Amino acid sequence: MGNSSASLPGRHIVLGITGGIAAYKTPDIVRRLRERGADVRVALTHRARQFVTETTLKAVGATLIEEQDGPQGMAHIDAARWADMVVVAPATAHFISRLASGAADDILTTLCLATEAPLLVAPAMNRIMWEKPVTQTNCRRLVEHGTMLIGPDSGPQACGETGFGRMAEPASIVHAIETFWGPRSLDGVRALVTAGPTHEPLDPVRILTNRSSGKMGYAIAAALARDGAEVTLVTGPTTQPTPVGVRRVDVTTAADMLAAVQEHRQDGCDLFVGTAAVADYRPEQASPGKIKKGPASLTLVLVRNPDILSEVARWQPRPYIVGFALETERLEEHARQKLQEKNLDLVVGNLAGPGTGIDSDTNALTLVDSNGSVSWPSDTKIALAQRLAAEIARRLNRDPHGRQN
Ligand code: PMT
């Protein structure tokens, strides 16, 4: 991970430290940044001072930001302008919640709000606090607003528990900072991603649909864009906000989705990722008027929708095609069947169940290709999407850093 050469010459990094036990690792972050040529200023919250001393941070070359330092006590504005990047590590659940709500009630939150520099946040907390929906919602809101998150990692925690919540290691944090300014692994890749459900009308007021929230597909679109890809997201109806840097095309039915995909083919497509839960069948005919209550039973005639992935697999030149498979049993077997039948390069399988698959914030994935399969354990959809983007980059053989997954 990274190296000690001056990969960050003259870069201005503001390191914000909040009050978690992982703060004891921050002098290591400062040391590594300084070794790479960066200039580091540090802002500590009141609680952070209980975990790491100013003396230690100064000893490794950091300059402390104090409110009284700046002109007319405007140190936060001065540092916000000076920064090429603001990094908050560790970021406690409390700090993340304040940041997500737009608070500006101490030097660090004010600095984060006042800066135009990219913001990288490394959450660190007890695993139950991390898993709480409110924390996940706060993190999602930060990502939607363009904040980059790194970690948390899984492992033993200071509280004696084991799970996700450990701050990403200093080496990983510094590597993420280095790669932000380096060439990105998907630079120049044109990606088309489908997401969300489709709505197939039965009559003017009723539809046939499924429970897809769009979370998985939007997270993938965001992760691909973050890694440098030019992303068009063709999406069925969802309440998800458009990820930063992604071009979004809204559609309703499977037929609309196919038409939008075909239309964007002419822009060029190197990578196609089908995460949408496309209705396999639609009503043969949508009634022009509301279907009235009548006999005790009603038979609906459904007809097959076109298969978008199979269509894309016939394109010449053919993009690299990643399909998804949502199953309730025999995940790998069914995923492999889809790989072959739809002529795909990779199928990402997920199970419909508590905390996985459709309409949840977390998932667990099984990647199946012609060489075999690998399973990734439960994680947030955001984290899994980032891992999948890195895996796709590796497969496209375009990762200039040879990043390992
Ligand atoms: O949106 P979320 O709530 O976050 O949930 C995410 C998800 C569960 C929807 C997602 O992870 C997922 O698994 N998406 C695929 C769901 C699905 O419809 O699987 P499938 O096994 O029916 O389809 C297999 C593949 O063919 C999928 O890539 C699908 O997009 C594609 N397909 C299916 C039908 C069709 N007519 N055209 C297609 O291209």
Task: Tell me the pLDDT tens digit for each residue of 207-236.
Answer: 999 999 999 999 999 899 988 999 999 999
Buried b (16+ CB within 10 A) or exposed e, 344-353: bbbbbbbbee
Residue in the block written with tokens 């509280």: 159
Q: What's the CATH number where 313 sits?
A: 3.40.50.10300
331 falls within a domain: yes
Q: Of all protein residues, whose CA lies closest to atom 20 belonging to ligand 1?
A: 325
Query: 163 and 34 in one domain?
Result: yes
**Distance from the alpha carbon of residue 321 to the mean position of ligand 1, in angstroms:** 13
Query: 228 and 170 in one domain?
Result: no
SS3 content of the chain, % helix, strand, coil (to 5): 35, 25, 40
**Distance from the alpha carbon of residue 280 to the mean position of ligand 1, in angstroms:** 10
How many domains does one find in the chain? 2
Assess whether pLDDT exceeds 80 at residue 194: yes
Assess whether pLDDT exceeds 60 at residue 13: yes
Query: 248 and 148 in one domain?
Result: no
- Give the model's pLDDT for residue 1: 38
Task: Tell me the pLDDT tens digit for each residue of 15-65.
Answer: 999 999 999 999 999 999 999 999 999 999 999 999 999 999 999 999 999
Question: Which domain covers residue 34, as residue numbers?
Answer: 12-181
Atom from ligand 1 closest to the CA of residue 326: 13
Percent of the chain scoring above 70 in pLDDT:
95
Residues marked as catalytic: 159
Task: Tell me the pLDDT tens digit for each residue of 369-395.
Answer: 999 999 999 988 988 998 999 999 999
Question: What is the average pLDDT across 241-249?
Answer: 85
- Give the model's pLDDT for residue 400: 42
- Give the model's pLDDT for residue 4: 47
Mutational pocket test of ligand 1: of 326, 330, 340, the residue with most ligand atoms within 8 Å of the beta carbon: 326
Query: 374 and 237 in one domain?
Result: yes
Output the pTM of the full model. 0.71
Query: 268 and 177 in one domain?
Result: no
Query: 197 and 173 in one domain?
Result: no
Among the three residues 129, 160, 181, which one is the final residue of a domain in this structure? 181
Query: What does R_g of the chain's alpha carbons equal in angstroms?
Result: 24
Query: 356 and 218 in one domain?
Result: yes
With helix as H, strand as E and coil as C, how does 15-28 read?
Answer: EEECCCHHHHHHHH
Ligand 1 contacts CB of residue 98 (under 6 A): no
Ligand 1 contacts CB of residue 326 (under 6 A): yes
Query: 132 and 257 in one domain?
Result: no
Query: 314 and 202 in one domain?
Result: yes
**Cα–Cα dist 351/331, whole Å:** 7
Query: 147 and 233 in one domain?
Result: no
